[in-house]
Amino acid sequence: MRIDIISVAPNLLESPFNHSIIKRAQDKGLAEIVIHDLRKFGLGNYKQIDDTQFGGGAGMVLMIEPISNCIKQLLAEREYDEVIYMTPDAKTLNQSTANTLSLKENILILTGHYKGVDQRIRDKYITKEISIGDYVLTGGELAAAVLVDAVVRLIPGVIGDEQSALTDSFQDNLLSPPVYTRPAEFDGMKVPAILLSGNFPKIDDWRSDQAYKRTQQIRPDLLDD
Ligand code: 6GU
């Protein structure tokens, strides 16, 4: 999978992708992540990328021309399965969206800043808008990093133990059951006996039951459908 990200703060995006599983995915050639600095497409001597809004109001808007020029240059090189705009005024990211995106070949992500981008960019180029939750960040970069992490780890071959992505929280709309490792007893606290029993069908049942109970207690909304 190739992921291009257009950003006004590219330095915010370098570190999150250079560690652990996401770095290994790139080293293995399973994911290629390329960051594009919108400032390079800025207008005039000052490389202007934002301006005040028509109709008045506080906050700057990212201008249509630099973004349009950047997107056109990228579209000349490859087709994108999705052109995604990261913005708080969108549907929130969930595991189902991450699963779908992990199967795509090329995706382009545009990250907003300030009051966002000129609406005409959204109307013309954006095929999907994604928020990562009901709160406001200073820019879309951290949200894009969250999206890329959630998607790249699902690309086949990225996580060594295939089973582990399949049994994540949310993969079947349930939270994960509790997990334990050695020692079996610490400061008088014991690991549930069922997990030491070796009875794997029973262990599966216990885990499903725990996952359901945990979901009912913490996120009953997930059980609604
Ligand atoms: Cl995608 N961007 C910003 N700026 N804030 C957010 C967000 C995105 N998702 C949640 N909050």
What distance in Å separates the CA atoms of residue 139 and residue 154, rounded to the nearest whole number? 25
Q: Is 116 in the pocket of ligand 1 (CB under 6 A)?
A: no
CB atoms within 10 A of CB 191: 16
Q: Please, which contacts does 156-163 make with residues 24 or more away whose CB atoms are closer than 8 Å?
A: 156/30, 157/28, 157/30, 158/21, 158/24, 158/25, 158/28, 158/30, 158/31, 159/21
What distance in Å separates the CA atoms of residue 6 and residue 14, rounded to the nearest whole number? 13
167 has a pLDDT exceeding 90: no
69-106 pLDDT, tens digit per residue, is 999 999 999 999 999 999 999 999 999 999 999 999 99
Is 135 marked as a binding-site residue? yes
Q: Give me the interface pTM, i.e. the ipTM.
A: 0.97
- The pLDDT value recorded for residue 63 is 98
Q: Which mutation among 85, 136, 138 tests ligand 1's pocket best, with the greatest number of atoms within 8 A of CB? A: 136
What distance in Å separates the CA atoms of residue 177 and residue 24, rounded to the nearest whole number? 28
Q: Is the dihedral of CA 112, 113, 115, 117 positive or negative?
A: negative
CA geometry: angle 173, 177, 181, nearest 5 deg: 145
7-52 pLDDT, tens digit per residue, is 999 999 989 999 889 999 999 999 999 999 999 999 999 999 999 9
Terminal Cα distance for the chain, rounded: 32
What distance in Å separates the CA atoms of residue 85 and residue 222, rounded to the nearest whole number? 26
Is 134 marked as a binding-site residue? yes
- The pLDDT value recorded for residue 208 is 96
Structural domains in the chain plus CATH codes: 2-152 (3.40.1280.10), 167-223 (1.10.1270.20)
What distance in Å separates the CA atoms of residue 159 and residue 118, rounded to the nearest whole number? 38
What distance in Å separates the CA atoms of residue 84 and residue 122, rounded to the nearest whole number? 9
Q: Is 9 in the pocket of ligand 1 (CB under 6 A)?
A: no
What distance in Å separates the CA atoms of residue 175 and residue 212, rounded to the nearest whole number? 7
Q: Is 66 in the pocket of ligand 1 (CB under 6 A)?
A: no
**CA-to-CA separations, 36 to 5, 133, 137, 152, in angstroms, rounded:** 6, 25, 20, 19
What distance in Å separates the CA atoms of residue 124 and residue 104, rounded to the nearest whole number? 21
Tokens read off for 162: 């295939």
Beta bridge partners of 43: 48
